């Protein structure tokens, strides 16, 4: 799907969010970039806490969409001063790249899914933090350890060495041979064990994203080994990884 098609088919998004203005930048040149600027109305409920607020945002959607996950800058209220998961320019750390790629790849309309399933929960977290100075979701660590945690969940596997090996196969750093023994330790062949999960990543997530997550998860494993999981999470809470 080209970004023009994604743009054109996101009708319900434009209807529900009339404050969002969309423009295609450099449409005649390559690569094209789509920008969605304006006011988005947050209206989201979690654990019976409903938050409603207006956020002035700017999303940049590159031609590699949906394999490349868009970036989101929040202009007002500027989260960089109070929210721990924002960069200085107001850009939000939206989540684990591979996880977001999977959400977008599986969606009927990836642009709507980006706003509904990724932007909204993130803005909810910003607004929740702005009001209560704590995060609304305590599901996963942030930064490098959070990336490793996502792949643990994805492969349903708590042995980190095996998680990394499966991720290396998905990223093409190691050969994908169905007859090889599966790294998870089940004793079965990869083809009748974790091959489906590996393939879901290979088909739905860009190789650059997988390679990048692979590097991050490898470094997270080093951290958790050196510091213990909790301290590693704490150590990375301040310094978010920078996106390429």
Minimum CB separation from Zn ion for residue 223, in Å? 25
Taking alpha carbons only, the member of 243, 241, 234 closest to residue 143 is 241
Nearer Cβ to Zn ion, position 71 or 186?
Answer: 186
Tokens encoding 25: 């930048």
Which tokens belong to 19? 């404050």
User: DSSP assignment of 105-171, as one string?
Assistant: HH-SSHHHHIIIIIIHHHHHHHHHHHHHSS-S--SS--HHHHHHHHHHHHHT---HHHHHHHHHHHT
103 contributes a contact to Zn ion by CB under 5 A? no
Nearer to Zn ion, 73 or 163 (CB): 163
To Zn ion, the closest distance from the beta carbon of 160 in angstroms equals 14
Q: How far apart are CA 60 and CA 74, in angstroms?
A: 12
CB of 155 to Zn ion, least distance (A): 8
> Shortest approach of Zn ion to residue 216 CB, angstroms?
22
CB of 139 to Zn ion, least distance (A): 24
Which lies closer to Zn ion via its Cβ, residue 6 or residue 184?
Answer: 184
Rounded to whole angstroms, the Cα distance separating 63 from 241 reads: 23
Q: Which two tokens stand for residue 63?
A: 């031609």
Report the site for Zn ion in 173-202 (rule: CB under 5 A): 182, 184, 186, 193-194
Q: Which is nearer to Zn ion, 94 or 210 (CB)?
A: 210
List binders of Zn ion among 45-64 (CB under 5 A): none
Instruction: Provide the binding-site residues for Zn ion, judged by CB under 5 A.
Output: 182, 184, 186, 193-194
């Amino acid at each position: 799907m080209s970004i023009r098609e994604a743009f054109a088919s996101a009708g319900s998004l434009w209807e529900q969010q009339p404050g969002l203005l969309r423009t295609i930048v450099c449409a005649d040149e390559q690569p094209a970039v789509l920008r969605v600027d304006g006011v988005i109305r947050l209206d989201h409920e979690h654990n019976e806490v409903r938050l409603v607020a207006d956020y002035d945002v700017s999303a940049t959607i590159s031609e590699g969409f949906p394999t490349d996950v868009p970036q989101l800058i929040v202009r007002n209220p500027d989260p960089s001063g109070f929210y721990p998961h924002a960069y200085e320019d107001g850009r939000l750390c939206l989540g684990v790249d591979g996880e977001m790629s999977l959400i977008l790849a599986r969606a009927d309309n990836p642009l709507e899914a980006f706003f509904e399933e990724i932007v909204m929960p993130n803005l909810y977290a910003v607004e929740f933090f702005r009001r209560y100075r704590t995060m609304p979701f305590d599901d996963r660590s942030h930064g490098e350890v959070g990336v490793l945690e996502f792949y643990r969940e994805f492969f349903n596997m708590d042995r980190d060495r095996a998680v990394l090996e499966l991720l290396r196969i998905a990223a093409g750093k190691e050969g994908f041979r169905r007859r090889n023994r599966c790294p998870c330790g089940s004793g079965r062949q990869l083809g009748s064990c974790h091959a489906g999960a590996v393939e879901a990543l290979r088909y739905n997530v860009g190789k650059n994203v997988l390679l990048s997550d692979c590097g991050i998860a490898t470094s997270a494993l080093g951290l958790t080994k050196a510091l213990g999981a909790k301290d590693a999470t704490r150590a990375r809470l301040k310094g978010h990884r920078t996106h390429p």
